[in-house]
Structure 1
Amino acid sequence: MEKNEIHVMYGTDSRKMTYEMLENIQLIKDLNAKMHIGIKPNLVVAKPANEGATTSPLIVEGVIQYLQNHGCMNISIMEGSWVGDNTKRAFKVCGYEDLARKYNVPLYDLKEDSSVIRKVGDLELNVCQKPLQVDFLINIPVLKAHCQTLMTCALKNLKGCIPDKEKRRFHALGLTKPIGYLAKAIPMGLIIVDGMAGDLTFEEGGNPVQMDRILLGKDPVLMDTYAASLLGYTKEEIEYIEVAESMGVGSGNLSAAKIQEYNVGLKKSSAVKPSNKVRYLTKKVIAESACSACYGSLVHALQRLDDKDMLKKIKQTIYIGQDFQGKELQGIGIGRCTNKCTRYVVGCPPTAADIIKVLESV
C-alpha cells in the first residue's frame, strides 16, 4: 500500500469491515511475527463508542483478529485519556478490558508511563515511551468535531501519547503548532479511522452522527485532509494539518490521492456536516489556551442550560483558559486558572454539573 492511498469502506459491521480492509491492503506484507505492534485508540473519556467520542472496540477487535490470524502475537493497546478523566475507567467502560481478556492483549495506561524528550524543530516535546518502543504503531482515531480545532482525527489522536502536564502545555502553546509537530516525534505505520458514529458537535460525545464508514491509510496529513473535506473544511481551516505538512510528516495533496471505496451501495452521503452548535453555545465565551477537558465540560454545561432554555439568561462574559491566570476580570471564570474573576467555578477541570450550578445562580 502506498502513502498516497486512502481506502474507505461503508457498512455497519465495523469488526468485519476492518478485517476485510486489512486483507485488501495485505498489511501483513509490512509486518513480521516478531514485531511488537501497538494499537492507539481514542479513549479520551469513559464513554461507550455509540456516544460518538471513543474508538469502537469492534474495530480494534478486527485489527487484533487479523494480526493474530497472521501470526503476530506481540500486540498491546495503549492510551492516555484527557486531563481530568481516568484511562483505566475508560478501558472498562469502553469495552477494552473485555477485549484484552478475550485476546490476551495487555492494556497500557500512558498516564502511568515514563516519558522522554523529543526535539522537533524549535520545540522540545515530552512524549510517552511505550508508543516509541513498538515496532509498528496503528493509530485508530475517531472522526469527530473538536470545540477548539474544529475537528480531530489522526494527527490530534497522538495527543493521548503525552503526559498530562504536556497536554496542558500544548494548550498553552495554542494546540496548533505542537499537534502538527507531534507526528514527527511519534511515527505511525497505519491509520484506521473510526467513522462509524462520531460526534460532529464536540469531542466529548453525546451527539453522534451515523456515518457508517471506516477509513484507512498511511499518511496522517493526507488522512486528516480527506477527513476535513468530509466535514466541509479545507486543510487550511484545520491549521495543524498544514503545520504537520510543513514538518514533512506527509502530504495534504488530495488531488494526487488514490481513493478506493468499497461497498459504495451502502454509502449514505458523500459528506457529513458538523453543526455550528458549539459556536452558538459559546458566543459569550472568551477562551485563551483552554484545555480540552475544561472546555468540553463548559460546552456540555452550556448545552444542558440551552436544553432548559436558560442559555439566553447568561449576560456576563465567560472566561476560560490558562492565559487568564492571575488576571482580575469582570465576569464568570471556568476552572482554577480564572480564580481572579468576579465569579469562578473551582476545579481543574471543573465538572459540567459545577459549571451549571454557578451559571444558574448568576
Structure 2
Amino acid sequence: MKKTEIIQIQGTDYKEMTKQLLEECSFATRIPSKNSLIGIKPNLVAPVPAEFGGTTHPEVVAGIVEYLQEHGFTRMQIMEGSWVGDKTEESFDVCGYRTLSEQYGVPLVDAQKEKSVPVQCGDMELQICECARKVDFMINVPVMKGHCQTKITCALKNMKGLLPNKEKRHFHAMGLHRPIAHLGLGIHQDFILVDNICGDLDFEDGGNPFVMNRLFAGLDPVLIDAYVCAELHYRAADVPYVKMAEELGVGSADLTQLSIRQIGEEGEKREIPAKRKIVELQDAVEEVESCSACYGYLIPALDRLKEEELLQELDEKICIGQGYRGKHGALGVGSCTSGFASSLKGCPPTDEQMYEFLKKYIVDKRKAETENSARGEKR
C-alpha cells in the first residue's frame, strides 16, 4: 500500500469488510513485530450508539482485533477519551466496547484517567496522555463526519481524544486549528481506517446519520483529511489545520497525487449534499474559545428551535465560550457566561437543557413584548 493511496470497500457486514480491507492492505506486514504494543483509537466522543452517526462502529474495531489475533498479535489495547462533559466509561458501555473488550480479551484504556506528559510538537508543547506515547503501532479508527467548529473531523482531529481534559480546553483557547495540526507531530498514526458507514455531516456527536456503508484506509492522515474535505464539498484551505499539518511535515494534502482503489463491488454511491445545516445555525451564535461539547450541544438545540420556527424570533446573539469568563452581556449558555443577564449554568449544559432554556427565553420575551404593547394601546 502506497502513502498516496486510499483503499475502500462497501457493504453492510462491517466486521468482514474490515478484515477484507486489512488483508488487501497487507496490514500484518506493516507492524514491526508480534510483540508490538498496538493501540486502537476509535472515536467515542459521547455515549451515543454508532448508528446515530457520531461514534465508531464496534464491529469495525472487532474486525481489526480479529484480524490481528488471527495473525498472531496479542498485545493490543483500545484507547479513548470522550469529550469534556461526558465520561469515557459510559461511552465504552453505551457504544458496545465493554462487551467487545470482554469478548476478545482486549483492555480498554480511559484516557480521561491517564497521566499526561509534555511533548514538544514542533514549536508547541502539548500535554499528551501516556498511553498514546507507549504504543509501538497506532491504528486510528475515526468517523468521517462534519464538525460544528472545524467543518470536518476525521484522522487528525480524532487524536484529540488522547489528551487530558485540561489540554482539550486549552486547545479551544488556542483556536483549535493550530494545536490540532501540531498534535500530528506528537502522536504518529501508523494506519488509518475510516468508518464512513453513517457519519453525521453536521454534528460531531451524531443525530442525523448519513448512510454510506463504506470503509476506507490510508497511511497519511493529512491526505485522508484532505480527501474528506473534498467529499464534504470543502477545499483543504477551508479547514486550516489540514494545510497547517502539511506545512509542519505531518503529511501531504495534494489530492492530485491521490489514487483510490475499490475492492469488492462498488455499491450505490449517495450524493453528499453540499448545503450544511450548521452554517445557517451559526449565525445565531457569538462564539469565543468554546469547547466542542458545549458548542456541539448548542447547535442541535438551535436546530430544534428552527424547526419550531422559534429561532427567527431571537434577536440577540447567543454567547458561548471561555472568552466570556468574567464578562457581561445579554444572553449566554455555559458556566463561562455566568456574568450575563440571562445565562444557563453547566460545563457543559446538555442540548436538552439548552433547548428548554432558549425556548423559555424566546417565549418569555415574546410574552413581555405583547404585554408592553397591550399596555401602550390602553394609554
- TM-score of the superposition, structure 2-length normalised? 0.93
In structure 1, runs of 5+ residues without a counterpart are none
Deviates more, 1:8-17 or 1:246-255: 8-17
1:238-317 → structure 2 map (5 Å cutoff): 238-269=239-270, 271-273=271-273, 275-317=275-317
Which residue is equivalent to 2:319? 319
Deviates more, 1:278-287 or 1:178-187: 278-287
| Ranges of 4+ aligned residues in structure 1 off by more than 6 Å | none
Structure 1 counterpart SS, 2:158: helix
Structure 1 counterpart SS, 2:35: coil
Q: Within 1, Cα distance between the matches of 2:227 and 2:301?
A: 31
Contact 2:114 2:131 in 1 (8 A): yes
Structure 1 counterpart SS, 2:236: coil
Q: Within 2, Cα distance between the matches of 1:109 and 1:267?
A: 38
Which residue is equivalent to 1:21? 21
In structure 2, runs of 5+ residues without a counterpart are 362-379
Q: Within 1, Cα distance between the matches of 2:356 and 2:272?
A: 35
Q: Deviations over 1:212-264 (max 9, x none)?
A: 11110010000111111111111111110011111100011111122211235
Deviates more, 1:309-318 or 1:273-282: 273-282
1:160-171 → structure 2 map (5 Å cutoff): 160-171=161-172
Structure 2 counterpart SS, 1:165: helix
Q: Within 2, Cα distance between the matches of 1:49 and 1:274?
A: 23
Q: Within 2, Cα distance between the matches of 1:284 and 1:101?
A: 45
The Cα of 1:5 is off from its aligned counterpart by 1.4
The Cα of 1:280 is off from its aligned counterpart by 1.7
Q: Within 2, Cα distance between the matches of 1:348 and 1:46?
A: 17
Which residue is equivalent to 1:204? 205
Q: Within 1, Cα distance between the matches of 2:345 and 2:59?
A: 38
Which residue is equivalent to 2:348? 349
- Structure showing greater Rg: 2
**Aligned AA (2:157):** K
Does residue 155 (structure 1) correspond to residue 151 (structure 2)? The answer is no
Deviates more, 1:161-170 or 1:318-327: 318-327
**Aligned AA (2:180):** I
Deviates more, 1:310-319 or 1:52-61: 310-319
The Cα of 1:281 is off from its aligned counterpart by 2.1
Structure 2 counterpart SS, 1:236: helix
1:101-140 → structure 2 map (5 Å cutoff): 101-140=102-141
Q: Within 2, Cα distance between the matches of 1:19 and 1:354?
A: 42
The Cα of 1:361 is off from its aligned counterpart by 2.2
Q: Within 2, Cα distance between the matches of 1:265 and 1:221?
A: 25
Which residue is equivalent to 2:371? none
Q: Within 1, Cα distance between the matches of 2:258 and 2:29?
A: 21
**Aligned AA (1:113):** E
Which residue is equivalent to 2:79? 78
Q: Within 2, Cα distance between the matches of 1:284 and 1:238?
A: 21
1:227-246 → structure 2 map (5 Å cutoff): 227-246=228-247
**Aligned AA (2:74):** M
Contact 2:221 2:251 in 1 (8 A): yes
Q: Deviations over 1:96-116 (max 9, x none)?
A: 011001100000100000100
Deviates more, 1:299-308 or 1:126-135: 299-308
Q: Within 2, Cα distance between the matches of 1:42 and 1:220?
A: 15
**Aligned AA (1:22):** L
Deviates more, 1:332-341 or 1:90-99: 332-341
Q: Deviations over 1:106-132 (max 9, x none)?
A: 001000001000112221100001011
Which residue is equivalent to 1:57? 58
Structure 2 counterpart SS, 1:265: coil
Q: 1:274 to 1:62 in 2, by over 3 A?
A: farther
Structure 1 counterpart SS, 2:139: strand
**Aligned AA (1:293):** A
Contact 2:298 2:354 in 1 (8 A): yes
The Cα of 1:273 is off from its aligned counterpart by 2.7
1:3-42 → structure 2 map (5 Å cutoff): 3-31=3-31, 32-42=33-43
- TM-score of the superposition, structure 1-length normalised? 0.97
Q: Within 2, Cα distance between the matches of 1:257 and 1:317?
A: 42
Q: Within 1, Cα distance between the matches of 2:244 and 2:220?
A: 14
Which residue is equivalent to 1:92? 93
* Number of equivalent positions: 360
Which residue is equivalent to 1:337? 336
Deviates more, 1:64-73 or 1:251-260: 251-260
Deviates more, 1:294-303 or 1:165-174: 294-303
Q: Within 2, Cα distance between the matches of 1:216 and 1:161?
A: 21
**Aligned AA (1:12):** T
Contact 2:9 2:266 in 1 (8 A): no
Q: Within 2, Cα distance between the matches of 1:180 and 1:272?
A: 26
Structure 1 counterpart SS, 2:341: strand
Q: Within 1, Cα distance between the matches of 2:3 and 2:170?
A: 31
Q: Within 2, Cα distance between the matches of 1:266 and 1:196?
A: 12
Contact 1:211 1:272 in 2 (8 A): no
Q: Within 2, Cα distance between the matches of 1:218 and 1:353?
A: 39
